[in-house]
């Protein structure tokens, strides 16, 4: 249930379409504010980091907006619920190899690497774009009321490779890659819940329904 | 496993959604937001809307209508037509689109695709190529420039090289005929591109869908079948599934 005290902020760091994420929250009856104002972010109960585009630009933008320390403070120290979407999931890794090596937020020990099908007889196409199923690994409250192996919308060329303890689902595209993670208050999906129809909207709702009493 | 997508591809003209036959004789199929709402309810995989007035008559892109449509759309939305500058891309994406389709601008300057991909990522760049068969040869066609002496496969490869994330191939001859996709054309493209191919033009029955996938298409775009036959997106998917092509049914 969404309470008045619940205050969701979608972090605006100039990387892609934030409006569609906001729209998904609105659709389930929850207001979410798009902002990069430190004060607004500090007052939030939950944070959402969406984004499409290049990892390096994203880290650069987060840094120049002064958001890296702030996010560390809010998510790691204050343990606010966090949802990373697509690039927002990749950013919580330790580093990425997209256009050279770039350091990430490092909340989960992981690397962002490119799909490589060069050894395949029939190489799969890159980007991985379209609907693909998420197979559950560890239970996550984000997947409540959603059947195992449901389809979600993906569009990406790089994927998250790292600490297996926090994997909530994997997806098969030539290899089984990590399509969502959950570590304490941190949730992230490689797919786009806001573009994944009913199941995607359920993920948004599950995130809204996370009880934030333990937070702040 | 990655599913094959079924993508309605409709045209925006005079604030209405229309369906054409071989790029002419437009029939109104409905109000944009109502149509999008219906498609959303029918659980299609994605939606492509091409604003034909904007591209043909150099009119500004209809941001208002795009915003209204995007508000109804909880699936990926691709918008094309009249996109010529980075500012255009900004405004279309800000209106709620997820991808942009570029046709005319890429013909005159393919590096525009590269520019867009660098700023917004390859995932939002759909390069659109219209193709006509002239004297037994496939040639690139454009509504503004007419038939061009360009090989469509080479052009698509150049677009992929420039950073397009997907290619939308439309057969002008098959478009709106419901006689099936241009399979010969698809065969020419088979294994030639490192990026997904969305084939467009000609689907009249679900079987046409399986034919196209057998010839190497990654995704199926269509309009006629949804508006002028009783086939639903679900019926097409069930047919594909019977032929063991993975699709999203839920």
Report pLDDT digits (tens) over B35-55.
999 998 888 999 999 998 887
Q: Does A182 touch chain B (CB under 8 A)?
A: no
Provide the residue count of chain A: 216
pLDDT, averaged across chain A: 93
Q: Any idea where the domains of chain B sit in the sequence?
A: 5-242
Q: Which residue has the tokens 């249930």?
A: A1
Kindly tell me if the per-residue pLDDT of A170 is higher than 60: yes
Kindly tell me if the per-residue pLDDT of A3 is higher than 60: no
B45, B94, B195 ranked by CB distance to A19: nearest: B94
Between CA A153 and CA A212 the distance in angstroms is 28
Q: Does A138 touch chain B (CB under 8 A)?
A: no
For residue A1, is it within any domain? no
The predicted structure's pLDDT at residue A137: 97
Between CA B187 and CA A42 the distance in angstroms is 56
Kindly tell me if the per-residue pLDDT of A176 is higher than 60: yes
Kindly tell me if the per-residue pLDDT of A6 is higher than 80: no
Q: Read off the pLDDT of residues A88-133 as tens digits, 9 standing for 90 and up.
A: 999 999 999 988 899 999 999 999 999 999 999 888 999 899 999 9
What CATH number is associated with residue A166? 3.40.50.880
The predicted structure's pLDDT at residue A5: 57
Residue A74 distance to chain B (closest CA, Å): 27
For residue A161, is it within any domain? yes
User: Is the model more confident about A214 or about A111?
Assistant: A111
ipTM: 0.89
Residue B185 distance to chain A (closest CA, Å): 19
For residue A177, is it within any domain? yes
Of these residues, A128, A156, A182, A192, which one is catalytic?
Answer: A192
For residue A216, is it within any domain? no
Q: Read off the pLDDT of residues B112-158 as tens digits, 9 standing for 90 and up.
A: 999 999 888 888 999 999 999 999 999 999 988 999 999 999 999 99
For residue A136, is it within any domain? yes
For residue A13, is it within any domain? yes
| Tokens describing residue A98 | 């997209």
What band does B24 get if pLDDT is binned at 50, 70 and 90? confident
Between CA B166 and CA B200 the distance in angstroms is 13
For residue A214, is it within any domain? no
- Would residue B130 show up in a list of annotated catalytic residues for this protein? yes
Between CA B13 and CA B27 the distance in angstroms is 10
**B37 in Cβ contact with B76 (< 8 Å):** no
What band does A20 get if pLDDT is binned at 50, 70 and 90? confident
Kindly tell me if the per-residue pLDDT of A4 is higher than 80: no
CATH of the structural domain B5-242, one choice from 2.60.40.10, 3.40.50.150, 3.30.420.40, 3.20.20.70: 3.20.20.70
Least confident of A49-53, A191-195, B103-107, B126-130: A49-53
Q: Does A52 touch chain B (CB under 8 A)?
A: yes
Between CA A39 and CA A55 the distance in angstroms is 25
Kindly tell me if the per-residue pLDDT of A215 is higher than 80: no
Distances (CA, A) of B193 to A99, B4, B132: 22, 17, 20
The answer to whether B250 contacts A194, with C-beta atoms less than 8 Å apart, is no
What band does A213 get if pLDDT is binned at 50, 70 and 90? low
DSSP string covering chain A, please?
---TT--EEEE--S-S--HHHHHHHHHTT--EEEE--HHHHHH-SEEEE---S-HHHHHHHHHHTTHHHHHIIIIIIS--EEEEETHHHHTTEEEE-TTS-EE---SEEEEEEE---TTSSSPPPSSEEEEEEEEESS--GGGTT--TTEEEEEEESEEEEE-GGGEEEEEEESEEEEEEEEETTEEEESS-GGGSHHHHHHHHHHHHHS--TT--
Kindly tell me if the per-residue pLDDT of A214 is higher than 60: no
Mean pLDDT calculated for residue range B179-201: 96
The answer to whether B96 contacts A157, with C-beta atoms less than 8 Å apart, is no
The predicted structure's pLDDT at residue B132: 97
Q: Read off the pLDDT of residues A147-160 as tens digits, 9 standing for 90 and up.
A: 999 999 999 999 99
Q: Does A205 touch chain B (CB under 8 A)?
A: no
What band does B225 get if pLDDT is binned at 50, 70 and 90? very high
Which residue in B224, B248, B141 sits closest to B176, CA to CA?
Answer: B224
Mean pLDDT calculated for residue range B193-222: 97
Look at chain A and report how many structural domains it folds into: 1
Q: How are beta strands A175-183 and A186-189 bridged, if at all?
A: antiparallel
Mean pLDDT calculated for residue range A189-194: 97
Give A14's contacts (C-beta < 8 A, 6+ positions apart). A61
Kindly tell me if the per-residue pLDDT of A48 is higher than 50: yes
Q: Tell me whether residue A68 is exposed, middle or buried, using C-beta atoms within 10 angstroms of its C-beta: 0 to 12, 13 to 18, 19 or more.
A: middle
The predicted structure's pLDDT at residue B27: 87
Which residue in A16, A65, A129, A154 sits closest to B119, CA to CA?
Answer: A16
Of these residues, B130, B173, B182, B211, which one is catalytic?
Answer: B130
Q: Tell me whether residue A16 is exposed, middle or buried, using C-beta atoms within 10 angstroms of its C-beta: 0 to 12, 13 to 18, 19 or more.
A: buried
| Tokens describing residue B102 | 């570029």
The predicted structure's pLDDT at residue B57: 83
Kindly tell me if the per-residue pLDDT of A17 is higher than 80: no
Considering only alpha carbons, which residue of chain B is nearest residue A133?
B1
Percent above pLDDT 70 for chain B: 100
What band does A212 get if pLDDT is binned at 50, 70 and 90? low
pLDDT, averaged across chain B: 93
Q: Does A24 touch chain B (CB under 8 A)?
A: yes
């Amino acid at each position: 249930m969404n309470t008045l005290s619940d205050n969701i902020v979608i972090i605006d760091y100039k990387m892609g379409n934030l409006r569609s994420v906001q729209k998904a929250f609105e659709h389930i009856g929850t207001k979410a504010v798009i902002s990069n104002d430190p004060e607004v972010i500090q007052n939030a109960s939950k944070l959402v980091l969406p984004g499409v585009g290049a990892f390096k630009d994203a880290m650069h933008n987060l840094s120049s907006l002064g958001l890296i320390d702030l996010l560390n403070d809010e998510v790691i120290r204050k343990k606010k619920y966090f949802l990373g979407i697509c690039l927002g999931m990749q950013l919580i890794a330790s580093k990425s190899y997209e256009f050279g090596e770039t350091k990430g937020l490092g909340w989960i020990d992981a690397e962002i690497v490119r799909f490589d099908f060069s050894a395949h007889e029939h190489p799969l196409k890159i980007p991985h774009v379209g609907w693909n199923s998420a197979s559950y690994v560890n239970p996550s409250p984000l997947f409540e009321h959603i059947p195992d192996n449901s389809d979600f919308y993906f569009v990406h060329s790089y994927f998250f490779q790292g600490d297996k303890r926090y994997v909530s689902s994997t997806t098969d595209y030539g290899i089984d890659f990590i399509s969502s993670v959950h570590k304490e208050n941190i949730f992230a999906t490689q797919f786009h819940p806001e573009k994944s129809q009913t199941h995607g909207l359920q993920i948004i709702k599950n995130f809204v329904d996370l009880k934030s009493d333990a937070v702040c | 496993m990655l599913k094959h997508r079924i993508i309605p591809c409709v045209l925006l003209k005079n604030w209405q959604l229309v369906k054409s036959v071989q790029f002419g004789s437009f029939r109104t199929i409905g109000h944009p937001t109502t149509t999008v709402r219906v498609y959303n309810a029918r659980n299609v995989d994605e939606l492509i809307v091409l604003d034909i007035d904007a591209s043909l008559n150099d009119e500004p892109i209809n941001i208002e209508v795009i915003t209204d449509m995007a508000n109804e759309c909880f699936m990926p939305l691709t918008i094309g037509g009249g996109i010529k500058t980075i500012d255009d891309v900004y405004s279309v994406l800000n209106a709620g689109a997820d991808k942009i389709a570029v046709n005319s601008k890429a013909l005159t300057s393919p590096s525009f695709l590269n520019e867009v991909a660098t700023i917004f990522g390859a995932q939002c760049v759909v390069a659109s190529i219209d193709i006509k068969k002239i004297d037994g040869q496939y040639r690139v066609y454009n509504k503004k420039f007419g038939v061009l002496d360009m090989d469509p496969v080479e052009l698509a490869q150049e677009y992929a090289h420039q950073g397009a994330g997907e290619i939308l191939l439309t057969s002008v001859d098959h478009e709106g005929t419901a006689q099936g996709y241009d399979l010969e054309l698809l065969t020419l493209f088979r294994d030639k591109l490192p990026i997904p191919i969305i084939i467009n033009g000609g689907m009249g029955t679900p079987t046409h869908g399986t034919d196209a996938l057998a010839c190497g298409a990654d995704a199926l775009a269509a309009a006629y079948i949804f508006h002028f036959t009783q086939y639903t997106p679900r019926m097409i998917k069930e047919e594909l599934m019977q032929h063991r092509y993975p699709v999203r049914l839920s």
